[in-house]
Protein backbone atom coordinates (compact mmCIF):
# COMPACT_ATOMS: atom_id res chain seq x y z
CA UNK A 1 0.00 0.00 0.00
CA UNK A 2 1.09 3.56 -0.61
CA UNK A 3 3.25 5.24 2.00
CA UNK A 4 3.04 8.72 3.44
CA UNK A 5 3.05 11.35 0.70
CA UNK A 6 4.30 14.86 1.27
CA UNK A 7 4.04 17.67 -1.23
CA UNK A 8 5.86 19.58 -2.42
CA UNK A 9 9.27 17.94 -2.00
CA UNK A 10 11.21 21.19 -2.35
CA UNK A 11 10.20 24.77 -1.85
CA UNK A 12 11.99 28.11 -2.00
CA UNK A 13 10.22 31.09 -0.44
CA UNK A 14 11.09 34.66 0.37
CA UNK A 15 11.19 36.06 3.89
CA UNK A 16 7.76 37.35 4.89
CA UNK A 17 5.81 35.02 2.63
CA UNK A 18 3.65 32.18 3.82
CA UNK A 19 3.75 28.52 2.86
CA UNK A 20 1.43 25.51 3.03
CA UNK A 21 2.74 21.95 3.14
CA UNK A 22 0.60 18.90 2.58
CA UNK A 23 0.69 15.37 3.97
CA UNK A 24 -1.40 12.39 2.89
CA UNK A 25 -1.15 9.58 5.44
CA UNK A 26 -1.17 5.87 4.80
CA UNK A 27 -4.67 4.69 3.94
CA UNK A 28 -6.58 3.93 7.14
CA UNK A 29 -4.22 5.88 9.37
CA UNK A 30 -5.98 8.57 11.37
CA UNK A 31 -3.13 10.23 13.22
CA UNK A 32 -0.75 12.71 11.59
CA UNK A 33 2.23 14.43 13.21
CA UNK A 34 4.60 17.07 11.92
CA UNK A 35 8.28 17.54 12.74
CA UNK A 36 10.89 20.13 11.86
CA UNK A 37 14.48 19.04 11.34
CA UNK A 38 17.36 21.51 11.34
CA UNK A 39 21.09 20.88 11.75
CA UNK A 40 21.20 22.88 14.97
CA UNK A 41 18.01 21.73 16.71
CA UNK A 42 17.57 18.19 15.45
CA UNK A 43 14.08 16.74 15.08
CA UNK A 44 11.48 18.82 16.88
CA UNK A 45 7.79 18.07 17.27
CA UNK A 46 5.42 20.62 15.77
CA UNK A 47 1.91 19.20 16.26
CA UNK A 48 -0.24 16.10 16.12
CA UNK A 49 -3.72 15.63 14.76
CA UNK A 50 -6.16 12.80 15.28
CA UNK A 51 -9.67 12.71 13.88
CA UNK A 52 -9.41 16.35 12.81
CA UNK A 53 -8.47 17.50 16.32
CA UNK A 54 -5.11 18.83 17.42
CA UNK A 55 -3.98 16.62 20.30
CA UNK A 56 -0.56 18.09 20.95
CA UNK A 57 1.43 21.13 20.00
CA UNK A 58 5.15 21.65 20.27
CA UNK A 59 6.97 24.75 21.38
CA UNK A 60 6.72 26.78 18.19
CA UNK A 61 5.37 30.30 17.62
CA UNK A 62 1.82 30.90 16.47
CA UNK A 63 3.09 31.44 12.91
CA UNK A 64 3.07 27.65 12.65
CA UNK A 65 -0.38 26.17 12.32
CA UNK A 66 -1.99 23.06 10.95
CA UNK A 67 -5.19 21.24 10.35
CA UNK A 68 -6.49 17.81 9.47
CA UNK A 69 -9.31 17.06 7.10
CA UNK A 70 -12.02 14.41 7.33
CA UNK A 71 -10.03 12.12 5.01
CA UNK A 72 -7.07 12.37 7.47
CA UNK A 73 -4.95 14.43 5.09
CA UNK A 74 -3.15 17.22 6.88
CA UNK A 75 -1.70 20.58 6.03
CA UNK A 76 0.65 22.80 7.91
CA UNK A 77 1.03 26.50 7.32
CA UNK A 78 3.84 28.85 8.21
CA UNK A 79 3.11 32.54 7.93
CA UNK A 80 5.55 35.44 7.80
CA UNK A 81 8.47 33.20 6.97
CA UNK A 82 11.83 33.83 8.61
CA UNK A 83 15.25 32.66 7.50
CA UNK A 84 15.33 30.33 10.51
CA UNK A 85 12.31 28.45 9.20
CA UNK A 86 14.52 26.86 6.57
CA UNK A 87 14.36 23.18 7.41
CA UNK A 88 13.24 19.73 6.44
CA UNK A 89 9.60 19.28 7.45
CA UNK A 90 8.61 15.68 8.06
CA UNK A 91 5.14 14.25 8.38
CA UNK A 92 4.38 10.98 10.13
CA UNK A 93 1.24 8.91 10.04
CA UNK A 94 0.08 6.23 12.44
CA UNK A 95 -3.04 4.18 12.87
CA UNK A 96 -3.79 5.83 16.19
CA UNK A 97 -1.77 8.12 18.46
CA UNK A 98 1.00 6.30 20.26
CA UNK A 99 1.24 3.53 17.67
CA UNK A 100 4.03 2.90 15.19
CA UNK A 101 4.76 6.00 13.10
CA UNK A 102 5.71 6.01 9.42
CA UNK A 103 7.34 9.03 7.85
CA UNK A 104 7.05 10.67 4.47
CA UNK A 105 9.98 11.83 2.36
CA UNK A 106 9.74 15.34 3.74
CA UNK A 107 9.49 18.82 2.31
CA UNK A 108 12.72 20.78 2.20
CA UNK A 109 11.90 24.46 2.68
CA UNK A 110 14.45 27.15 1.96
CA UNK A 111 13.69 30.72 2.97
CA UNK A 112 15.77 33.38 1.23
Binding residues for another protein (CB under 8 A)? 33, 35, 37, 42-43, 45, 48, 55-56, 58, 88, 90, 92, 97-106, 108
Nearer to another protein, 67 or 95 (CB): 95
| Residue whose C-alpha is closest to residue 25's, from 108, 81, 110, 99 | 99
Task: Give the count of alpha carbons within 13 A of 59, CB side only.
Answer: 3
Furthest-apart CA atoms within the chain: distance in Å: 38
Indicate the SS3 state at residue 57.
strand
- Rounded to the nearest whole angstrom, what is the least distance from the CB of residue 45 to another protein in the complex? 5
Nearer to another protein, 86 or 105 (CB): 105
Query: Of the two residues 41 and 80, which places its CB atom closer to another protein in the complex?
Result: 41
**Least Cβ distance, residue 16 to another protein (angstroms):** 26
Name which of 18 and 99 has its Cβ closer to another protein: 99
Is the backbone of residue 30 left (phi > 0), alpha (psi -120 to 50) or beta? alpha
As measured in angstroms, the least distance from the Cβ of 107 to another protein is 9
Q: How far is the CB of 82 from another protein (least distance, A)?
A: 21
Q: Which of 14, 13, 36, 32 is nearest to 23 (CA)?
A: 32
Amino acid sequence: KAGVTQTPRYLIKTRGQQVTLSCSPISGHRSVSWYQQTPGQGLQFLFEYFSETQRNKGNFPGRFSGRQFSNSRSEMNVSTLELGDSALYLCASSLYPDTEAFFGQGTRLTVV
